[in-house]
Amino acid sequence: MSASVRSMSLTVCRAATVAYRAFNPATRSLRSRGFIESTEEFRFVERLVPPSRIPTPPKHEGPAPSGWIPPSATPPSLPYMIRRSRMHNVPVYSDIKHGNQHSTLLRKIEGDIWALNKDVKEFLLGLTGKEPPTQVNEITGTIRIKGLFDKELKDRLLKKGF
Amino acid sequence: MISSHTRVMFRATLAICGRTVAKRFISSLSGESALPSNLRLPPNLIGVAPQKRAFPSSSDLPVLRRCEADIPAHLAPAQTWLESLGSRDSEPLGVVDLHPDVFSVPLRLDILHAVEVWQRNFKRISHAKVKSRAEVSGGGRKPWNQKGSGRARHGSIRSPLWRGGGVAHGPRGPSSYYYMLPMKVRVQGLKIALTAKLAQDYLHIVDSLEIPTPDPHYLLDLVKHRQWGDSVLIVDVGDEFPQNILKVTEDMKTVNIIPAIGLNVHSMLKHESLVLTLEAVKFLEKKLLWHDVRYAPLYPFKLPYSDLPSFSLHQMLIDGLEWIIVMYLSAVLTRNLTAPIHCRGSIGEQVI
């Protein structure tokens, strides 16, 4: 019942639209008013529409001029793997809470996370002279380190080839 | 009588523990009781333990389908058998590759739970409503004087203290439980569900859904023979499905067919076994992997992007306007035509 009413009103509406467009001088077809229609210029609109995918960066041997270092083609032979973020950067982030609690977050870790934890602790022991407390989250694959070490950790991971 | 839920749980335990459970069970018989009590299987368990075909592990088998998307260098594709629904006893046709970022993600059960709970609750609108003291009829007048009558002081006969009075803090009106989980969490939920199905041996890849007869017994027999489980969810891509499979699954409660866009975590958890066609696997991989490499949305993804197929904005606006007019007209006409006769006059007099 309502379906037939709906289809009836659909045809009525479409007929009304067509009739309105044919008789209203403002919306009559452009050709009848002496204009030439062309769709060639639509490419200027199309090229403004942004893409949805992040492009893969072009191949660089060594660091790019901006300072970005690509991951090595073969993954390093370590028991763990750290993927790049979706913008192709090393996933090391600095965090701050309550204005004075600094921590460093290491994300996107796959494989043996405890081996990486030991590695990171040894590295920071050599760097600062004391072992920083770390929090290992096996389920999410993240390590949170007390203190701000993001630059040093990023450089170390880039040197390793992640 | 063991319920089907317990049976499913036992089957799952069997699938995961495998032979080690049997070994431990034997050692517990000898008096050591090494296995905890919740993992010990009763000797009178109903149901045949599934004869699992070993997962294809050797690399000499020809791979019938490779992944379209690039696989990260440190991961290897997951592999599983490609089967056919053509006949009950047909052997698997070969081995297919599945993308590890869709079918071998870390199993985050908390995300799976969150997505399942969201799916149940975001559509919920509870219509529970009770009258408050303002809405219960009556109760405008003070029942007796404040002082002098000897009774307790009251302002209205419909206060929550009174019998027949309004409810103080009851449910108020239709309330919605709508919330949205982030898109990436919902996508990850789908990936985890697919991974879980593959890991528990409940995922079956099929080349196409052509079956020889529209007889429901054929499909039930096939499912039982291949030990796919009590319930099967069949997923395919596209508008047209073969007539036979549609007819068979139409009246069956436990075997259901859905298009690939309708795949969701709740259905995957509700059905024991999941059957995907190769087209469905390709579609799912493409859609689920796009979320790993996409930008944050500048504007909703329903609108056109240069690499996403979408309607044009102009056409969508025209269609939208037309549809609004159609819905309004149909609502008005239906109201006028279906109202009882004594009301039609009054409806017609209302301003449209």
* Terminal C-alpha separation, chain B: 63
SS3 for A87? Answer: coil
What does the alpha-carbon distance between residue B43 and residue B64 come to, in Å, rounded to a whole number?
A: 41
ipTM of the complex: 0.79
Nearest to B272 by CA among B2, B8, B51: B8
- Nearest-by-Cβ selection for B292 from A1, A81, A86: A86
Name residue B269's amino acid: L
Residue linked to tokens 């609690």:
A101
Name residue B189's amino acid: G
Strand order across the beta sheet in which A134-137 lies: A92-97, A101-106, A142-146, A134-137
Say how many CA atoms lie within 13 Å of A15 toward its Cβ.
Answer: 6
**B188, B186, B191, B196 alpha-carbon torsion, rounded to 10°:** 100
Residue B24, pLDDT score: 46
Distances (CA, A) of A97 to A103, A146, A147, B4, B271: 8, 11, 11, 50, 44
Nearest to B277 by CA among B258, B292, B303, B253: B258
3-state SS track over A46-69: HCCCCCCECCCCCCCCCCCCCCCC
Total residue length of chain B: 352
Nearest to B235 by CA among B211, B215, B270, B208: B208
CB atoms B298 and A50 under 8 Å: yes
Strand partners, B294: A53
Query: Residue A106, by phi and psi: left (phi above 0), alpha (psi -120 to 50) or beta?
Result: beta
3-state SS track over B261-293: HHCCHHHHHHCCEEEEEHHHHHHHHHHHHHCCC
Distance from CA of A113 to the nearest CA of B (A): 13
Residues of chain A with pLDDT under 70: 1-3, 13, 21-31
Residue B119, pLDDT score: 97
Report all structural domains of chain A as residue ranges with CATH numbers, in order of start.
82-160 (3.30.780.10)
- Cβ neighbours of B289 (radius 10 Å): 19
Residue from B70, B71, B74, B184 whose CB has the most chain A CBs within 10 Å, to mutate: B74
The predicted model scores a pTM of 0.77
Residue A14, pLDDT score: 78
- Nearest-by-Cβ selection for A5 from B306, B322, B334: B334
Q: What is the DSSP letter of B309?
A: -
Residue B331, pLDDT score: 59
Distance from CA of B69 to the nearest CA of A (A): 13
What does the alpha-carbon distance between residue B221 and residue B219 come to, in Å, rounded to a whole number?
A: 5
Residue A8, pLDDT score: 77
B108 interaction partners in chain A (CB closer than 8 Å):
139-140
In sequence order, the 6+-apart residues with CB closer than 8 A to the CB of B90 are B83, B84
pLDDT along chain B (352 residues), means of 10: 52 47 48 74 69 65 90 94 92 93 96 98 97 94 94 95 96 96 98 97 94 93 92 94 94 95 96 96 96 96 88 50 55 60 49 42
Distance from CA of B40 to the nearest CA of A (A): 28
Distance from CA of B329 to the nearest CA of A (A): 6
CB atoms B306 and A81 under 8 Å: no
Which residues 101-160 of chain A have a CB within 8 Å of chain B? 110, 139-141
What does the alpha-carbon distance between residue B274 and residue B197 come to, in Å, rounded to a whole number?
A: 7
- Nearest-by-Cβ selection for B307 from A2, A53, A75: A53
Question: How would DSSP label each residue in B16-53?
Answer: HHTHHHHHHHHHHHTT---S-TTTPPPTT--SPPP-PP
> Would you say A144 and A103 are in contact if contact means Cβ atoms under 8 Å apart?
yes
